[in-house]
Amino acid sequence: MRSFSIVIDGQEVAFEPGQTIMEAAEEAGVYIPHLCYHPDFKPHGSCKLCTVKVNGRYATACTLPAAEGMVVENLSDDIQADRRRLTQMLFVEGNHYCPFCEKSGNCQLQAVAYYVKMEESFFAHFYPRRALDASHPDIVLDRDRCIQCELCVKASRDVDGKNVFGLAGRGVQTRLVVNSESGLLKDTDMAKEDFAAHICPTGAILVKRIGYQIPIGERLYDRQDIGAVGNRQPVLKPRE
């Protein structure tokens, strides 16, 4: 059988026809920073963190199918600098306070920020006003930390079969909304066991009363960076 390969930062990476650059890279253990991509779902391509240069042109690794002869620039200083700016944009657009966020250490946004060597926010903060929803007995929805990746929307709709979340509004006013008459999470059938309750890459959707079960210092990204650990969550729903 013929084998196919692309080159990422000088390293040869094999792929099966139909695989995206991201899928081929993940299989080969090559980390491409990302936030809205999740292997269980169709790629979204919105966070743009996985932007790479393919034969000199910008493309998102999560959406572009790998093709023989592609030369991919992933961790060059230029690309990482652009990703640093993108990450800073995500930070200033919302209200992200790592020091008192219970997701700290398990947060992919924070971990990616460290990975791209973000040391300050660079831009002036937008300080948006976003509604907090603590109405559900077991789950809290803190929109301040939402980065609009849509993973909870997909997890709820495609895995849990409940269709609890959606994105509404447009532009910088885009907000995560809850599909119930009152707009509150307590009036949905969402349960803390749902995939949607555990997929958020940031601390926007948290299960209550487990925040400090794993102490700071022993969390997912406390000892190893996200390049080594990958984008997984500490509490994963078993997959059938």
Partner 1 sequence: MIAAAELDRLVAYEDLPSGGSFMVFNATRDIVRIAQNFAHFFARESCGFCTPCRVGTQVLRRTIDKVVSGHGSEMELTEVEEIGRLVKSMSHCGLGQTAANPILDSLKRFRERWEDRLGTRDFVPDFDLDGALSEARALTGRDDALAHLDR
Alpha-carbon span 128 to 91, nearest angstrom = 11
Q: Does 86 bind partner 1 (CB under 8 A)?
A: yes
* Of the candidate residues 46, 80, 179, 180, the single one contacting partner 1 (CB under 8 A): 46
Question: Among residues 93 and 133, whose Cβ is nearest to partner 1?
Answer: 93
* Shortest Å, Cβ 226 to partner 1: 17
Decide if 156 contacts 139 (C-beta within 8 A). no
- Closest by alpha carbon to 17, among 68, 69, 60? 68
Q: Does 171 bind partner 1 (CB under 8 A)?
A: yes
Q: Does 39 bind partner 1 (CB under 8 A)?
A: no
Q: Does 148 bind partner 1 (CB under 8 A)?
A: yes
- Closest by alpha carbon to 105, among 25, 217, 207, 195? 217
Q: Does 61 bind partner 1 (CB under 8 A)?
A: no
Tell me the residue type at 199.
I
Q: Does 117 bind partner 1 (CB under 8 A)?
A: no
DSSP code for 238:
P
Q: Does 48 bind partner 1 (CB under 8 A)?
A: yes
CA distances from 42 to 32, 150, 164 (A): 17, 11, 19
Alpha-carbon span 113 to 98, nearest angstrom = 11
Q: Does 55 bind partner 1 (CB under 8 A)?
A: no
Distant-in-sequence, close-in-space partners of 198: CB < 8 Å, separation ≥ 6: 207, 233, 235, 236, 237
Q: Does 123 bind partner 1 (CB under 8 A)?
A: yes
Q: Does 89 bind partner 1 (CB under 8 A)?
A: yes
Alpha-carbon span 33 to 83, nearest angstrom = 8
* Shortest Å, Cβ 135 to partner 1: 26
* Shortest Å, Cβ 126 to partner 1: 7
* Shortest Å, Cβ 127 to partner 1: 10
Alpha-carbon span 15 to 98, nearest angstrom = 37
Question: Among residues 46 and 135, whose Cβ is nearest to partner 1?
Answer: 46
* Shortest Å, Cβ 51 to partner 1: 5
Q: List interacting residues with partner 1 (CB under 8 A).
A: 45-49, 51, 58, 82, 85-86, 89-90, 92-93, 123-126, 147-148, 169-174
